[in-house]
């Protein structure tokens, strides 16, 4: 260690910005260290995506009906402690850190000097100066929080919501254990890739000794401004989502009510995450017309087949002059449509992922041995009850969807995402304290 | 296939934009199909990163001294053909497609109708409407183009530049074959992740039957505007790069001259790519002061140890009151400094990467079995001659750099990056035709 006088930190970079934090509506404690420039200009739904700030505290957690940011990092952790108090302490620490991070702060106050004392810094520092970037942090609870291997580790088994079911095995599932499941869930979304990962990394570090990373995954979404984004298959994705601008739709399909078995979940939601690898090389060689039959939509306009505009209604009854359905029987848009699923809807908030390439040896003709993209979709869907939402919808899709020729579900998880926290309280307080 | 009249494509989306293409200075052929909105507003170095356009044709290839965009996708391919004409045809097709893509176009003109005929579309369509996003595409030639397994497949063995050496094995190298090497190199950089990947994906597809993907890797760079970006270790990265604004520095250290053995490389460069995994979990637990000793810089300011400001000169001779060097002997900044390397400099243009997590079983105490980040640095460095650039610098670093405790080189490649192409010609024409 050098014994020279360390240079003083730049005040410009690390001024306390309590005023700005209050202005952003977050009930933060004192000592918020964050780039002044970011906080001073930060505002909700800023025209500048780097300066956008989303609230952390509230009736619902952010990151569910929040307009989708351009990047995400999702992660699941497994609890390694046997002590209920450790879990509560972790959730308190996560809540406080997430509140700071979402408002453009560091996970904890940085040391006063530039050259540190002999402690590890409370924040990795890689997001310094990047701005809040609309960061949201959303936490969820997996089945393992309530009971694991038949053991009620934290006295919570009786409070497990009936809606937090273990997902069934779906037709074609090829799940990889280390990309599946998890006791705790963190979803960070932001308009910058490093900001999203930075948040999860600090939170995972706060969990050392209490919970360990099970899987983590970066995702992205490149939307033409104000339009429905296209996924890596080149089709617009999310056209038929229920409108987040309609509270009655959100209350019906997304937000959990106050069920007798889990009153603490009121205002929360249930989230399903699936890692869906897509064989892009194979897909790219398909005829354009066939691709459109698979989706049931035109590729460039996004219109349902036979229609002109993206938001034209999907008419599942329409037939061509030979009496065949215009929207094919096994097309994705038909099978996933509300009308095919007893009126069920789920709120999809998915991201593409791109983990480079891997070398694969295929076990079927023509026995290719080649480098293939490890890319696809981090499917994320929120719903008031998976038993009427994702599960029946995906059971139908897994059996009949023509798209299955090009997709493989390799990761899967389900979480109860509790309601938002009040300032001074913490995420999940209702589960532990009422 | 439906026999209905397909809807006409939206003219708004796919008007030919020849005028705009000419304005952007690219000698494109006819039939450029691209979102009109993007091309009409596109301009070099636009204040709006989505609308920025970089030139494709020119004395040098773009993407080398181009101000660094926020995302990259780099890939290497292996040639599978034995015919020289196939290689030339591929380079011609790549040149034409890259010229279109960088100006905001699709890889080739899209079909006229929305519902296609029975052909696969010439472009995957996932970047439609996203704008040019400052896309650059840079091509390179690996040793395998000149000779492979002792075989001179294309009559080029005698034209291999002496500077295109096979990289030696460096101390600590843990190279994975399927992330190492490659006959051909594509680097796409853009201000949008999907736009960068889209470019490589179209180009890889054009290579079907001639060359096959060997490895691909996405990367990102999150810079506070106008400041040196921080890497995932939280330190500013690139402070000591030679200035791209100084042509004499670029001519000395980056651009290849007209050597007797490879006159066709004049105006090109030699590019080294290394995939460097960083054990972020371990790094995050290090004392801040120790992290600074490893780098030889202060973390928050970026100043050399003992100095106040990022761009203060690195004084390797300075000693503290006990006579010890202020910048530690084995610090990264000392070992990589020009003064420690016979005056050599290389132009680093690296990106972070983040491929989620993997489950590792460590083969050393304490024998951890855990999920760890698969994240780190896609190190990219350009130089006029690797024999005086990357190789001696990295030999020293690989032996002595304290940072090696936290980094593992798992991928490696070297390429001769030829000069830019003239409109009507193609990348590498000088190699094949003079």
pLDDT confidence bin for B225, thresholds 50/70/90: confident
Q: What are the tens digits of pLDDT across the range B138-150?
A: 999 999 999 999 9
Nearest to A120 among B194, B285, B355 (CB): B285
Helix (H, G, I), strand (E, B) or coil at B32: coil
Q: Say whether B300 and A193 touch across the interface (CB within 8 A).
A: no
* Structure confidence at residue B409 (pLDDT): 97
Q: Is residue B114 assigned to a domain?
A: no
Strand ranges (DSSP E) for A62-129? Answer: 71-79
pLDDT at residue B61 above 50?
Answer: yes
Q: Is residue A8 assigned to a domain?
A: no
Please list every residue in chain B whose beta carbon sits closer than 8 Å to the beta carbon of residue A285.
120
CB-side neighbour CA atoms (13 Å) of A415: 30
Give the total residue count for chain B.
434
* Structure confidence at residue B82 (pLDDT): 97
State the nearest Cα–Cα gap between A25 and chain B, in angstroms.
25
Determine which of A138-152, B35-49, B153-167, B344-358 has the lowest per-residue pLDDT on average.
B35-49
* Structure confidence at residue B117 (pLDDT): 60
State the nearest Cα–Cα gap between A205 and chain B, in angstroms.
8
Q: Are B133 and B405 in contact (CB under 8 A)?
A: no
Please give the C-alpha separations between residue B133 and each of B202, B237, B263, in angstroms, as whole numbers. Answer: 17, 23, 34
Give me the phi and psi of A357, to 5 degrees please: -130, 160
Which structure tokens are listed for A259?
């069920």
Angle between the B84-102 and B193-206 helix axes, to the nearest 10 degrees? 150
In B, minimum Cα distance to A117 occurs at B289
**CA torsion A317→A320→A326→A329, rounded to 10°?**
80
- Confirm or deny that A332 is annotated as ligand binding: yes
Please list every residue in chain B whose beta carbon sits closer than 8 Å to the beta carbon of residue A126.
222, 230-234
In B, minimum Cα distance to A225 occurs at B130
Cis peptide, bond prior to residue B366, ω within 30 of zero: yes
Q: Say whether A193 and B6 touch across the interface (CB within 8 A).
A: no
Q: Say whether A119 and B287 touch across the interface (CB within 8 A).
A: yes
Q: Is residue A7 assigned to a domain?
A: no
Q: Say whether B119 and A298 touch across the interface (CB within 8 A).
A: no
- DSSP one-letter code for A195: H
Q: Is residue A118 assigned to a domain?
A: no
Which structure tokens are listed for A352?
């593409």
Give me the phi and psi of A173, to 5 degrees please: -55, 135
Which structure tokens are listed for B138?
């840079």
Question: To 5 degrees, how large is the angle CA B51–CA B54–CA B60?
Answer: 175
List the end-to-end C-alpha distance of chain A, in Å, as a whole number.
Answer: 50
Q: Is residue A96 assigned to a domain?
A: yes
Nearest to B75 by CA among B219, B243, B174, B229: B219
State the nearest Cα–Cα gap between A38 and chain B, in angstroms.
10
Which of A216, A235, A352 is the best mutation test for B, with the most CBs of B within 10 A? A216
Q: Say whether A290 and B1 touch across the interface (CB within 8 A).
A: yes
Helix (DSSP H) and strand (DSSP E) numbers for chain A: 12, 9
Please list every residue in chain B whose beta carbon sits closer than 8 Å to the beta carbon of residue A75.
357
pLDDT at residue B346 above 80?
Answer: yes
Cα–Cα distance for residue pair A112/A103, rounded to 1 Å: 20
Nearest to B370 among A4, A212, A352 (CB): A212
Average pLDDT estimate for B172-195: 97
Which of B69, B205, B356, B377 is the best mutation test for A, with the most CBs of A within 10 A? B356
Nearest to B220 among A75, A131, A194 (CB): A194
Does the pTM of the predicted model rise above 0.80?
yes
Q: Say whether B124 and A234 touch across the interface (CB within 8 A).
A: yes
In A, minimum Cα distance to B373 occurs at A216
Q: What are the tens digits of pLDDT across the range B242-261?
A: 999 999 999 999 999 988 99
pLDDT at residue B413 above 50?
Answer: yes
Cα–Cα distance for residue pair A19/A47, rounded to 1 Å: 22
Please list every residue in chain A whose beta carbon sits closer than 8 Å to the beta carbon of residue B308.
7
Nearest to B300 by CA among B288, B285, B286, B282: B288
Which of B49, B108, B224 is the best mutation test for A, with the most CBs of A within 10 A? B224
- Confirm or deny that B348 is annotated as ligand binding: yes
Q: What are the tens digits of pLDDT across the range B66-122?
A: 999 999 999 999 999 999 999 999 999 999 999 999 999 999 988 766 555 677 888
Cα–Cα distance for residue pair B82/B210, rounded to 1 Å: 9
State the nearest Cα–Cα gap between A291 and chain B, in angstroms.
9
Q: Is residue A394 assigned to a domain?
A: yes
Q: Say whether A215 and B14 touch across the interface (CB within 8 A).
A: no
Q: Is residue B29 assigned to a domain?
A: yes
DSSP B131-198: --TT-EEEEEE-HHHH-BTTB-TTS-GGG--TTSPPPPPPTT----GGGS--SEEEEEEESSHHHHHH
Please list every residue in chain B whose beta carbon sits closer than 8 Å to the beta carbon of residue A220.
193-194
State the nearest Cα–Cα gap between A260 and chain B, in angstroms.
37
Nearest to A289 among B75, B117, B235 (CB): B117
Domain count, chain B: 1
Cβ contacts from A onto B, under 8 A: 280
Please list every residue in chain B whose beta carbon sits closer than 8 Å to the beta carbon of residue A359.
178
Q: What are the tens digits of pLDDT across the range A314-373?
A: 999 999 999 999 999 999 999 999 888 889 999 999 999 999 999 988 777 878 889 999
Q: Are B364 and B408 in contact (CB under 8 A)?
A: no
State the nearest Cα–Cα gap between B262 and chain A, in angstroms.
32
Cα maximum dimension of chain A = 86
Domain hosting residue B137, numbered range = 20-109+129-433
* Structure confidence at residue A251 (pLDDT): 96
pLDDT at residue B41 above 70?
Answer: no
Q: Say whether A293 and B193 touch across the interface (CB within 8 A).
A: no
Which of B115, B133, B183, B233 is the best mutation test for A, with the most CBs of A within 10 A? B115
- Write out the H or E segment, with its range, that includes residue A13: helix A11-14
State the nearest Cα–Cα gap between B114 and chain A, in angstroms.
6
Give me the phi and psi of A205, to 5 degrees please: -70, -35
What mean pLDDT value characterizes chain B? 88
Please list every residue in chain B whose beta carbon sits closer than 8 Å to the beta carbon of residue A200.
none
Q: Where are the alpha helices (DSSP H) in B319-389?
A: 332-335
Please list every residue in chain A whose beta carbon sits closer than 8 Å to the beta carbon of residue B225.
50
Nearest to B102 by CA among B150, B1, B13, B34: B34
Please give the C-alpha separations between residue A38 and each of A34, A50, B40, in angstroms, as whole numbers. Answer: 8, 8, 32
Query: Position of tokens 């940072």?
Result: B403
Please list every residue in chain B whose beta carbon sits closer than 8 Å to the beta carbon of residue A131.
224
> How many beta carbons lie within 10 A of that of residue A347, not counting itself?
24
Produce one character per residue of B56-73: b if its CB has 16 or more CB atoms within 10 Å, e if not: bbbebbbbbbbebbbbbb
Please give the C-alpha separations between residue A427 and each of A60, A210, B230, in angstroms, as whole numbers. Answer: 10, 16, 31
DSSP A387-426: TTTHHHHHHHHHHH-GGGGTEEEEEEEEEEE--PPPTTS-
Cis peptide, bond prior to residue A366, ω within 30 of zero: yes
Helix (H, G, I), strand (E, B) or coil at A73: strand
Please list every residue in chain A whose beta carbon sits closer than 8 Å to the beta carbon of residue B318.
none
Please give the C-alpha separations between residue B237 and each of A126, B178, B229, B278, in angstroms, as whole numbers. Answer: 11, 27, 6, 14
* Structure confidence at residue A411 (pLDDT): 98
Please give the C-alpha separations between residue B14 and each of A234, A378, B37, B56, in angstroms, as whole numbers. Answer: 15, 30, 9, 22
Q: Is residue B327 assigned to a domain?
A: yes
Cα–Cα distance for residue pair A93/A89, rounded to 1 Å: 6
State the nearest Cα–Cα gap between B429 and chain A, in angstroms.
28
Nearest to A53 by CA among A161, A195, A193, A233: A195
Cα–Cα distance for residue pair B295/B291, rounded to 1 Å: 6
In A, minimum Cα distance to B207 occurs at A281
* Structure confidence at residue B13 (pLDDT): 32
Cα–Cα distance for residue pair B228/B230, rounded to 1 Å: 7
Helix, strand, coil shares of chain B as percentages rounded to 5? 25, 20, 55
Please list every residue in chain B whose beta carbon sits closer than 8 Å to the beta carbon of residue A351.
none
Provide the residue-wise pLDDT of chain A in tens; the chain has 434 residues: 333 333 333 333 333 333 333 333 333 332 333 333 333 344 455 678 899 999 999 999 999 999 999 999 999 999 999 999 999 999 999 999 999 999 999 999 887 665 555 778 889 999 999 999 999 999 999 999 999 999 999 999 999 999 999 999 999 999 999 999 999 999 999 999 999 999 999 999 999 999 999 999 999 999 877 789 999 999 998 888 999 999 999 999 999 998 899 999 999 999 999 999 999 999 999 999 999 999 999 999 999 999 999 999 999 999 999 999 999 999 999 999 988 888 999 999 999 999 999 998 877 787 888 999 999 999 999 999 999 999 999 999 999 999 999 999 999 999 999 999 999 999 999 999 97
Query: Position of tokens 């308009």?
Result: A191
Residue A241: left (phi > 0), alpha (psi -120 to 50), or beta?
A: beta
Produce one character per residue of A285-308: b if its CB has 16 or more CB atoms within 10 Å, e if not: ebebbebbbbbbbbbbbbbbbbbe
C-alpha torsion sign, points A105, A106, A111, A116: negative
Average pLDDT estimate for B269-290: 96
Which structure tokens are listed for A7?
């240079």
């Amino acid at each position: 260690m050098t014994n020279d006088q360390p240079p003083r930190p730049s005040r410009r970079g690390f001024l306390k910005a309590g005023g700005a934090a209050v202005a952003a509506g977050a009930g933060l404690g004192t000592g918020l260290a964050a780039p002044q420039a970011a906080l001073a200009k930060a505002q909700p739904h800023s025209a500048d995506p780097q300066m956008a700030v989303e609230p952390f505290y509230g009736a619902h957690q952010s990151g569910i009906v929040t307009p989708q940011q351009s990047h995400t990092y999702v992660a699941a952790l497994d609890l390694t402690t046997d002590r209920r108090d450790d879990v509560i302490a972790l959730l308190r620490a996560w809540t406080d850190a997430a509140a700071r991070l979402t408002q453009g702060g560091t996970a904890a106050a940085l040391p006063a000097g530039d050259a540190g004392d002999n402690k590890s810094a409370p924040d990795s520092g890689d997001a310094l100066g990047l701005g809040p970037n609309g960061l949201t942090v959303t936490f969820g609870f997996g089945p393992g929080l309530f009971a694991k291997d038949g053991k009620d580790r934290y006295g919570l088994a009786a409070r497990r919501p009936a809606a937090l079911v273990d997902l069934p095995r779906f037709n074609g599932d090829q799940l990889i254990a280390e990309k599946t499941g998890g006791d705790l869930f963190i979803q960070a979304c932001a308009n910058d890739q490093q900001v999203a990962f930075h948040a999860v990394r600090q939170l995972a570090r706060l969990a050392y000794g209490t919970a360990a990373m099970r899987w983590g995954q970066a995702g992205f979404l490149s939307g033409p401004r104000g339009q429905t984004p296209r996924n890596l298959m080149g089709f617009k994705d999310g056209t038929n989502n229920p409108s987040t601008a309609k509270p009655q739709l959100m209350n019906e399909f997304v937000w959990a009510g106050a069920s007798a078995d889990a009153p603490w979940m009121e205002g929360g939601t249930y989230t399903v995450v699936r890692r869906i690898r897509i064989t892009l090389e194979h897909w790219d060689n398909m005829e354009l017309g066939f691709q459109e039959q698979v989706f049931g939509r035109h590729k460039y306009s996004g219109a349902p087949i036979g229609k002109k505009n993206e938001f034209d209604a999907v008419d599942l009854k329409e037939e061509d002059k030979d009496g065949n359905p215009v929207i094919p029987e096994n097309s994705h848009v038909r099978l996933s449509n509300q009308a095919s699923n007893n009126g069920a809807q789920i709120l999809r908030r998915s991201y593409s992922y791109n983990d480079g390439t891997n070398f694969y040896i295929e076990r079927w003709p023509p026995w290719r041995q080649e480098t293939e993209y490890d890319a696809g979709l981090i499917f994320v869907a929120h719903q008031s009850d998976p038993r009427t939402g994702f599960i029946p919808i995906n059971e139908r899709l897994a059996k009949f969807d023509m798209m299955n020729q090009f997709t493989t579900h390799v990761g899967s998880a389900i979480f109860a995402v509790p309601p938002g926290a009040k300032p001074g309280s913490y995420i999940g307080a209702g589960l532990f304290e009422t």
